[in-house]
Amino acid sequence: MSAQDSSFVEVVQLSKRFGAELAVREVNLAVARGEFVTLLGPSGCGKTTTLRCIAGLERPDAGEIRIDGQVVTAPEREIHFNPEDRNIGMVFQSYAVWPHMTVFDNVAYGLRVRRVNDAEMKARTNKALELVGLGHLADRYATKLSGGQRQRVALARAIAYEPKVILFDEPLSNLDAKLREQMRIELVRLQHEVGITSIYVTHDQSEALVMSDRVVVMDKGVIQQVGDPETIYARPANAFVANFIGVANLLEGRLLSRSGDVSEVEIPAGDGFAPLHLKAAGGEGASRGQKIILSLRPEDISLHLQRPEGGSAVNLMDAEVIDTVYLGNFLDCRVKVGAHEVTLQIDHFERLSPGQKVFLTFWPDHGLCLTE
């Protein structure tokens, strides 16, 4: 049964069309039992549609969805389980806490629907309320709760009847920044405590990186990359992922040679500038002369006021300061390298004035060659 465990929720070749627009295009995804997987992408990337297809709120045009070995959606075979028959829980962006019921009634709803006997229903409802720290508000009406409390009610409501999977549709995006960070940590703690399989949709990359076992990056209805947070951040599969996760400087050039794990690339620097010759990781499978994109994280670039010598002068670039932005714990600095604009992050507060000549270096394993 290990096969079933590694694909507790399985999405195969899922496609969904809204009118002429293809919202989801042949998406494949396998979520293991107890795993926390995040669908991440800009708005309109198809992540919410995929989630709503898993929930049964949307009917896909093609593909198949299995939950715990059971086929719940297969339009080609005319199989469609209604949401209520999938044994799932879902937390919505707008909380959707019912204003005409008390907190207790909201949370007990799923257990009552399942005709759990009274004593057990009360015990399990209270347990769910304790779990989210709302035991003392059980008799309150939802209209008297704050946003954060409403979100906890929605969460307790979704876990009270111990569904097979819990689906989160941007649940934190209506909360203010501070509460959002607090809820992130709490959600992860809760998920570990309950051990429930979770699929989470967000457009907030830091949320995805903090919370997930695995991140699925989507764009234009297509999965761009699937991986754990470190991999997604450090080894983005393509320019879209590199740019969407954090900030990346993307420089276009050609592969000159490869030796071991290191690729050497040539990047034209614009009219009147000598092309840059840089060494970086990645570029596997690319052939000599092929077009590549070099991705450089702002925090991986070092800035020098004097031309560095010897061993530290790796990937040396001449640059000219455009401007700097003070951001509290660090400075964002924009510089010109030839005709390219490069952003880097520096944590020392030397005065940099626009037009000043500076020097940039980065370690080859901090740069990444992408072949798209």
Per CB under 8 A, the list member of 41, 89, 253, 298 interacting with another protein is 89
Torsion angle of the four alpha carbons 280, 209, 182, 158, in this order, in degrees rounded to the nearest 10: 180
| Cα angle 174, 180, 184; round to 5 | 125
Residue 353, interface with another protein (CB under 8 A)? no
Please report, as residue ranges, which positions from 16 to 55 form the binding site for another protein (by CB under 8 A).
55
Cβ-based nearer residue to another protein, 98 or 233: 98
Per CB under 8 A, the list member of 100, 288, 348, 351 interacting with another protein is 100
Residue 120, interface with another protein (CB under 8 A)? no
Report, in Å, the least distance between residue 277 CB and another protein: 51
Radius of gyration of the chain (CA): 25
Q: What is the DSSP letter of 58?
A: S
Report, in Å, the least distance between residue 55 CB and another protein: 6
Per CB under 8 A, the list member of 14, 45, 53, 90 interacting with another protein is 90
* Residue that is written with structure tokens 């000159």 in the block: 256
Residue 224, interface with another protein (CB under 8 A)? no
Q: Are strands 9-18 and 62-67 parallel, antiparallel or unpaired?
A: antiparallel
Cβ-based nearer residue to another protein, 114 or 189: 114
Per CB under 8 A, the list member of 62, 96, 179, 250 interacting with another protein is 96
Residue 114, interface with another protein (CB under 8 A)? yes
Residue 143, interface with another protein (CB under 8 A)? yes
Residue 95's Cβ-count burial label (10 Å; 0-12, 13-18, 19+) is buried
In angstroms, the CA 235 to CA 241 distance is 9
Report, in Å, the least distance between residue 186 CB and another protein: 20
Which has the closest alpha carbon to 263: 280, 238, 239? 280
Residue 110, interface with another protein (CB under 8 A)? yes
Q: Provide the 3-class DSSP secondary structure of residue 348.
A: coil
Q: Is 332 left (phi over 0), alpha (psi -120 to 50) or beta?
A: beta
Please report, as residue ranges, which positions from 56 to 75 form the binding site for another protein (by CB under 8 A).
56-57
Sign of CA dihedral 283, 289, 292, 298: positive
Region from 93-101, 180-188, 242-250, 293-301 binding another protein, contact rule CB under 8 A: 93-101
In the chain, how many H helices and how many E strands? 9, 21
User: Distances from the Cα of 35 to the Cαs of 31, 92, 168, 198, 362, in angstroms?
Assistant: 6, 20, 13, 6, 36
Report, in Å, the least distance between residue 88 CB and another protein: 6
Residue 121, interface with another protein (CB under 8 A)? no
Site for another protein, rule CB under 8 A: 55-57, 82-84, 86-90, 92-94, 96, 98-100, 109-110, 113-114, 143, 154, 157-158, 161, 167, 169
